[in-house]
Amino acid sequence: YYTTLTSLCDNSTFRWTIKHSFSKKTLAKPGVKNIVLVDGVRTPFLQSGTTYADLMPHDLARAALQGLLNRTGLPKDAVDYIVYGTVIQEVKTSNVAREAALGAGFSDKTPAHTVTMACISSNQAMTTAVGLIAAGQCDAVVAGGVEFMSDVPIRHSRKMRKTMLSLNKAKTLGARLSLLGSIRLAHLSPELPAVAEFSTAETMGHSADRLAAAFGVSRLEQDEFALRSHTLAKKAQDGGMLSDVISFKVPGRDIVSKDNGIRPATMEQLAKLKPAFIKPHGTVTAANSSFLTDGASAVLIMSEEKALAMGYKPKAYLRDFVYVSQDPKDQLLLGPTYATPKVLEKSGLTLNDIDVFEFHEAFAGQIMANLKAMESDWFAQTYMGRKTKVGAPPMEKFNTWGGSLSLGHPFAATGCRLVTTVAHRLQKEGGQYGLVAACAAGGQGHAMVIEAYPQ
Amino acid sequence: MSPMTTGFWVKGHGQRSLSVSSAVLARTHVSYEVKDNVAVVRINDPTSKVNTLSRHMQAEMVEVMNEIWGNAAVKSAVLISRKPGCFIAGADINMIQACKTAEEVTSLSQEGQKIFDQVEKSPIPIVAAINGSCLGGGLEFAIACQYRIATKSKKTILGTPEVMLGLLPGAGGTQRLPKMVGLPAAFDMMLTGKNIRPDKAKKMGLVHQLVDPLGPGLKSPEERTIEYLEEVAVDFAKGLAGRKVTVEKKKGLVQKIQDFVMGLPPVRKQIYKTVHSKVMKQSKGLYPAPLKIIECIQTGIEKGNAAGYLTESQNFGKLAMTSESRALIGLYHGQVTCKKNHFGKPERDVKKLAVLGAGLMGAGIAQVTIDKGVATILKDTTEEGLARGHQQVYKGLNDKTKKKSLTTFERDGIMSLLSGQLDYRDFENADMVIEAVFEDLSIKHKVVKEVEAVIPPHCIFATNTSALPIKDIAAASKRPEKVIGMHYFSPVDKMQLLEIITTNKTSKDTTASAVAVGLKQGKVIIVVGDGPGFYTTRCLAPMLAEAVRALQEGVGPKKLDSLTTGFGFPVGAATLADEVGIDVAAHVAEDLGKAFGTRFGGGNVEVLKMMVQKGFKGRKSGKGCYVYGAKSKEKKVNSGAEDILKSFKLTAPPAVSADEDIQYRLVSRFVNEAVLCLQEGILPDPVQGDIGAVFGLGFPPCLGGPFRFVDSHGADKLVQKMKRFEEAYGNQFTPCQLLLDHAKDSSKRFHK
């Protein structure tokens, strides 16, 4: 039955009749190419320092790309272009897109570039792909993202680096010795990469704690939301909903096929934790924050014609998207609040039209603050130049398969997970529109409207 | 010394005075509510922008505290201000000024001591929740509480600035602070009066916890930050009451060693001695307050609390009656007046400013302008000049990042407002042009014409000249109503004064706009009439002429410096000449000499000219009266300059050449010229005269300015001295009519 329906659906005439059975209009615009998500996969998201610990970032990215090839049966030379996101760059593979693609067996004739935009890096990779297709330059683009927190570049101090660079140039033994002699103990202390804003020097957790306080989000509310995320993720995992996860045989280790950060605890256990950033009176703890994660994701994006011509049954249309940015100090994590009304307006939709919401959960406090901001007319008027609030998404439609707090948050891989999850949830739950929204370091944000592909 | 940092505040008008009994029914300044066994006491003076410890505030506070102490359900308390940006800015300055005798002030101090003593011995813990200025009496209140939490807001500052008004912390501050932060830190705070930022306060042990200021939420950031501070403070108050939070923090090894060392009487004795001699060296014994502060601290530590508190209150009373304190308080009032725009709101805001000339002054003006968010063009004629000016601005801002008052990102953002250029591009969008080119009338005329060809009609042309009359510069202008003088002082980013000069053609709106720009740049402003040297340069010139005469008479530069600093000038006369620039001094002396004749004589201008010829242009050229080496701390007298002085040697008349005579020769010429400026209408009032002299020229702050000096010294005594000098030297010492009027009638005073 299923195959029959699929083959029937490939008939475009029938597709249109099906589409009309939706209660709402399609967002297709005349003269604008329909761009579709064919499929999306991801490696299991693991807490950093666990099974992936000995890999390199391009290994993880390669696993996601190979998984996508396997899942879609895509001929390797059918891909016009690859765009991949990453945040903390491994210096040896600064264009990680290319290194991963070569190893994954893509044609060496397929160009690849790497993008970076903090936690919305793979969103940027996907919208770059959308742009390439919309502009008529490509028909099939692979987008994705990877983050590998088990190993990050730790540098020598600036003074030490300067000495070492001068050493290369020193010609005589005497010159070298005198340079070596100039090294002081303090020069040996390394520079660690911080999850801190360069412009403000504030760590993201600290900013999240202040944001929660600004919106009056209590510790209890945050712990409750974190628990919800873990509970829903566990349910989704047990119920087999997380079908975007591929199995990955880690060299020298076992086969990994499940996310390992999902830990539904009790409220009492959560309440015991001490604040992690603002001490001793803060509210953001390790348990109500997303944890450091290793993982990679990949999606196949095509023009609708090309997908159909190749015999694919797309999962969803990728429709309007926006990027926003605001003050990186006090509004660092409010991206969803700013991006949501903007993208809805662009699409001519209201919040009520959306059936599925997938928001990136950086911190429980950040999500709660965004929900409160979206519910506030005062905030909309005072800070967003809007007449009224956009409204907060209803919780029964919101991140119902877990989120970054529980599934994990490999910075540059999360965007693809959100979009693929929206497509899968629309298929399972039968809705028409989904909304993805995320915040990112630098005070930036993103949102995208996704429309279900007629079944 | 900004209004926020004096530790005192002048209350606004219209305060109702309520009797204590009626205040029970209608408390206006202090309110409280009990939340979960925590009494939250909120202070808010409805009659003023800031909270002060006025009599009224104190009375309500005592009532509220007694109610709280009498309520068995209350287990702890939080003290918080409802005003954004101000906890308690200090005691009410008028309350102290209204006292006629030292005894009255002493009893005021004792009342304060008594209240804070009760707070200190409170049966329930009290948490001071501090957001904004916590100064003087406000800090004394906070440190009497059991626990302190402060926000990390930029507005949060803690300090004991009483010394800047010639007073001391008179409500227990001299007794509690040393115990809290240690002897060295307490001396530093009370003797310098400096502001302490929250991070430093935490490190010093002045506050226990810090709270981050919040950004936008469901309420304004200011409002929500105060609410959040209260929530955190209430939690700590509960913790203290339930003994889950302890006040004492564990002492580190360094602290233990320091405590041990400070416990040794000979060590403490040495500290008192060192601090005393340091104060004497810096203040020349002209300021009584620092010495009294040392005495209070020493008494408290060596002889116990009772003796310490008594000394504190008595010394406070004595200090309040000193002329030095009155002078400093007068300056404070004057400064507040000179930080207001008395010419109304200008028709247009200056959104783009252009500065001509990227020299020391031009670059300085550009720096203080972009620093306040105004886009600025810095134009020079050569690339080298421009690069030097640009670097000066960058360095000025970068030094702030080193002191952490600015982040590197803020620095970069500010720098992006500066546009360095060699042409007149974009001048068509300028709202104001300030020229700081070479002091030569023909060059200034050329610049006026060039600029007026490119600027829009509404644009104001301001000239930063130190002596050329504005009307002479305006003569080349097609629209003299838009021409005004803006005389900045070097270094522009450090010197607070701006002297604005209007001609009889300058429009009121032009003046209002120039004042608005100056206020934005953070300046203290005096507005004076046009004339050679305006006000400030005109007062300085005769004093420098006298200084040159003294040098010619054989008083060495070092002796001259020590005589002037001994009188209270922060910089000695010879050093000042080097700082101003010998070439500038020569230029001014010659110009003003031509304008005012022999009255501006004294020293021979040729001395200065000869020095310039030999390249002794002052600090900037490495040689002036002194030699400025790269490293040596000890300034050496320039023997070349000495040779020149010898060749112009004059014989000192013994009758007027004693040390004190030399001091009064210098000062009386300054003061007489200032009074003459008032008499001639160059100066609108004595207040601006005092502010201009102190903030622009370094007239001794302890004397309060030339006019207050005449009042306190006595015009008759000054005239007597001048008559004696007049006999020896002639008309340079002829007292002006206004000064003679004051000498004749002792009831005439410049200040009430």
Amino acid (one-letter) located at A170: A
B491 cis-preceded (ω within 30 degrees of 0): yes
Whether B9 shows a pLDDT value over 60: the answer reads no
Q: Is A392 on the interface with B (CB under 8 A)?
A: no
Averaged over A78-91, what is the pLDDT?
A: 96
Averaged over A12-37, what is the pLDDT?
A: 68
pLDDT of residue A196: 85
A with B: how many residue pairs have Cβ under 8 Å apart? 59
Angle at B295 between CA B293 and CA B297, to 5 degrees: 70
What mean pLDDT value characterizes chain B? 93
pLDDT of residue B246: 85
Out of A58, A230, A360, A409, which one is annotated catalytic?
A: A409
DSSP string, B488-551: E-SSTTT--EEEEEE-TT--HHHHHHHHHHHHHTT-EEEEEE-STTTTHHHHHHHHHHHHHHHH
pLDDT of residue A194: 74
Whether A11 shows a pLDDT value over 60: the answer reads no
User: What distance in Å separates the CA atoms of residue B281 and residue A345, rounded to the nearest whole number?
Assistant: 71
Amino acid (one-letter) located at B111: E
Adjacent-strand bridge partners of B488? B498
Neighbours of B201 (CB within 10 A): 25
Neighbours of B353 (CB within 10 A): 26
Interface predicted TM-score of the whole assembly (ipTM), two decimals? 0.91
Higher pLDDT, A31 or A322: A322
pLDDT of residue A22: 56
**pLDDT > 90: what percent of chain B?**
89
- Tell if the CB–CB gap between B228 and A211 is shorter than 8 Å: no
- Tell if the CB–CB gap between B214 and A378 is shorter than 8 Å: no
Adjacent-strand bridge partners of B77? B39, B126
pLDDT of residue A336: 98
Averaged over B275-284, what is the pLDDT?
A: 94
User: What distance in Å separates the CA atoms of residue B478 and residue B706, rounded to the nearest whole number?
Assistant: 38
pLDDT of residue A17: 39
The answer for B446, left when phi > 0, alpha when psi is -120 to 50, beta otherwise, is alpha
Length of chain B, in residues = 752
Instruction: Decide: helix, strand or coil at residue B693.
Output: helix
pLDDT band at B1 (very low <50, low <70, confident <90, very high): very low
Residue A370 tokens, joined: 């965004």
pLDDT of residue B25: 55
A416 included as an active-site residue: no
User: What distance in Å separates the CA atoms of residue A265 and residue A286, rounded to the nearest whole number?
Assistant: 13
Distance from CA of B517 to the nearest CA of A (A): 28
Distance from CA of A331 to the nearest CA of B (A): 7
Q: Is A214 on the interface with B (CB under 8 A)?
A: yes
Whether A58 shows a pLDDT value over 70: the answer reads yes
pLDDT tens, residue by residue, B479-499: 999 999 999 998 999 999 999
Averaged over A39-51, what is the pLDDT?
A: 98
Adjacent-strand bridge partners of B524? B497
> Which has the closest alpha carbon to B132: B184, B163, B178, B89?
B89
Q: Which positions ≥6 away from A225 have C-beta within 8 Å? A: A288, A364, A367, A368, A405
Give chain B positions within 8 Å (CB) of A209: 212
- Tell if the CB–CB gap between A199 and B409 is shorter than 8 Å: yes
pLDDT of residue B436: 95
Whether B114 shows a pLDDT value over 50: the answer reads yes
User: What distance in Å separates the CA atoms of residue A429 and residue A355, rounded to the nearest whole number?
Assistant: 9
- Tell if the CB–CB gap between B215 and A214 is shorter than 8 Å: yes
Ramachandran angles phi, psi of B90, nearest 5°: 140, -170
Residue A368: closest C-alpha in chain B: B217
- Tell if the CB–CB gap between A327 and B221 is shorter than 8 Å: no
Averaged over B557-580, what is the pLDDT?
A: 94
Whether A2 shows a pLDDT value over 80: the answer reads no
Residues of B classed as catalytic: 499
Give chain B positions within 8 Å (CB) of A206: 212
Contact yes or no for B372/B406 (Cβ under 8 A): no
Find residues 432-451 of chain A whose CB sits inside 8 Å of chain B.
none
Q: Which positions ≥6 away from B517 have C-beta within 8 Å? A: B350, B353, B369, B374, B432, B486
What mean pLDDT value characterizes chain A? 93
CA A421 to centroid of chain Cα atoms: 11
User: What distance in Å separates the CA atoms of residue B344 and residue B325, rounded to the nearest whole number?
Assistant: 32
Residue A405 tokens, joined: 């707090």
pLDDT tens, residue by residue, B157-216: 999 999 999 999 999 999 999 999 999 999 999 999 999 999 999 999 999 999 999 999
> Which has the closest alpha carbon to B528: B540, B520, B543, B538?
B538
Residue B249 tokens, joined: 């923090």
Whether A348 shows a pLDDT value over 60: the answer reads yes
Helices (H), B145-220: 173-181, 183-192, 198-204
Q: In 3-state terms, chain B is what percent helix, strand and coil (to 5)?
A: 55, 10, 35
Averaged over B436-455, what is the pLDDT?
A: 94
User: What distance in Å separates the CA atoms of residue A344 and residue A357, rounded to the nearest whole number?
Assistant: 12
pLDDT band at A99 (very low <50, low <70, confident <90, very high): very high
Pairing of strands B126-130, B157-159: unpaired
Q: Which helix (H) or strand (E) holds B463?
A: strand B460-463
Q: Is A202 on the interface with B (CB under 8 A)?
A: no
Contact yes or no for B550/B650 (Cβ under 8 A): no
Residue B226: closest C-alpha in chain A: A214
> Which has the closest alpha carbon to A316: A197, A451, A176?
A451
Whether B17 shows a pLDDT value over 70: the answer reads no
Averaged over B381-396, what is the pLDDT?
A: 97
pLDDT of residue B2: 42
pLDDT of residue B127: 98
Q: Is A371 on the interface with B (CB under 8 A)?
A: no
Give chain B positions within 8 Å (CB) of A369: 217
Residue A445 tokens, joined: 């944000």
- Tell if the CB–CB gap between A214 and B224 is shorter than 8 Å: yes
pLDDT of residue B16: 40
Distance from CA of A367 to the nearest CA of B (A): 13
pLDDT tens, residue by residue, B666-679: 999 999 999 999 99
> Which has the closest alpha carbon to B533: B547, B545, B522?
B545
Contact yes or no for A261/A46 (Cβ under 8 A): yes
pLDDT tens, residue by residue, A203-251: 999 999 999 999 999 999 999 999 999 999 999 999 999 999 999 999 9
User: What distance in Å separates the CA atoms of residue B346 and residue B361, rounded to the nearest whole number?
Assistant: 25
Neighbours of B643 (CB within 10 A): 11
**3-state helix/strand/coil string of chain A:** CHHHHHHHHCCHHHHHHHHCCCCCCCCCCCCCCCEEEEEEEECCCEECCCCCCCCCHHHHHHHHHHHHHHHHCCCHHHCCEEEEECCCCCHHHCCHHHHHHHHHCCCCCCCEEEECECECHHHHHHHHHHHHHHCCCCCEEEEEEEECCCCCCCECCHHHHHHHHHHHHCCCHHHHHHHHHCCCHHHHCCECCCCECCCCCCEHHHHHHHHHHHCCCCHHHHHHHHHHHHHHHHHHHHCCCCCCECCEECCCCCEECCCCCCCCCCHHHHHHCCCCCCCCCCCCCCCCECCEEEEEEEEEEEEHHHHHHCCCCCCEEEEEEEEEECCCCCCCCCHHHHHHHHHHHHHCCCHHHCCEEEECCCEHHHHHHHHHHHCCHHHHHHHCCCCCCCCCCCHHHECECECHHHHCECHHHHHHHHHHHHHHHHHHHCCCEEEEEEEECCCEEEEEEEEECCC
pLDDT of residue A8: 39
Ramachandran angles phi, psi of B338, nearest 5°: -80, 5
DSSP state of B148: E
**3-state helix/strand/coil string of B115-142:** HHHHHHCCCCCEEEEECCEEECHHHHHH
User: What distance in Å separates the CA atoms of residue B241 and residue B238, rounded to the nearest whole number?
Assistant: 5
pLDDT band at B11 (very low <50, low <70, confident <90, very high): very low
> Which of A197, A209, A210, A374 is most worth mutating to test chain B (most B CB atoms within 10 A of its CB)?
A210
Residue B213: closest C-alpha in chain A: A210
Instruction: Decide: helix, strand or coil at residue B377.
Output: strand
User: What distance in Å separates the CA atoms of residue B394 and residue A199, rounded to the nearest whole number?
Assistant: 18
Whether B249 shows a pLDDT value over 80: the answer reads no
Contact yes or no for B704/B331 (Cβ under 8 A): yes
Whether A284 shows a pLDDT value over 90: the answer reads yes
Whether A16 shows a pLDDT value over 70: the answer reads no
- Tell if the CB–CB gap between A369 and B217 is shorter than 8 Å: yes
CB nearest A281 (choices: B221, B232, B407)? B232
Give chain A positions within 8 Å (CB) of B218: 214-216, 372-373, 376, 378-379
- Tell if the CB–CB gap between B214 and A331 is shorter than 8 Å: no
Ramachandran angles phi, psi of B155, nearest 5°: -85, -15
Residue B215: closest C-alpha in chain A: A330
Averaged over B49-73, what is the pLDDT?
A: 95
A190 cis-preceded (ω within 30 degrees of 0): no
Residue A379: closest C-alpha in chain B: B218
Averaged over B673-686, what is the pLDDT?
A: 98
pLDDT of residue B629: 79
Ramachandran angles phi, psi of B587, nearest 5°: -60, -50
Give chain B positions within 8 Å (CB) of A338: none
CB nearest B218 (choices: A206, A209, A379)? A379
**For chain A, how big is the Rg over CA atoms in Å?**
23
pLDDT tens, residue by residue, B138-169: 999 999 999 999 999 999 999 999 999 999 99
pLDDT tens, residue by residue, B543-567: 999 999 999 999 999 999 999 999 9
Give chain A positions within 8 Å (CB) of B215: 210-211, 214, 327, 329-331
Out of A58, A119, A230, A360, which one is annotated catalytic?
A: A119
- Tell if the CB–CB gap between B216 and A213 is shorter than 8 Å: no
Q: Which helix (H) or strand (E) holds B742?
A: helix B737-744
Q: Is A1 on the interface with B (CB under 8 A)?
A: no
- Tell if the CB–CB gap between A201 and B221 is shorter than 8 Å: no
Whether A25 shows a pLDDT value over 50: the answer reads yes
Helices (H), B51-136: 55-69, 93-97, 102-120
Give chain A positions within 8 Å (CB) of B207: none
pLDDT of residue B8: 52
pLDDT of residue B195: 96
**pLDDT > 70: what percent of chain B?**
96
pLDDT band at A192 (very low <50, low <70, confident <90, very high): confident
- Tell if the CB–CB gap between B215 and A211 is shorter than 8 Å: yes
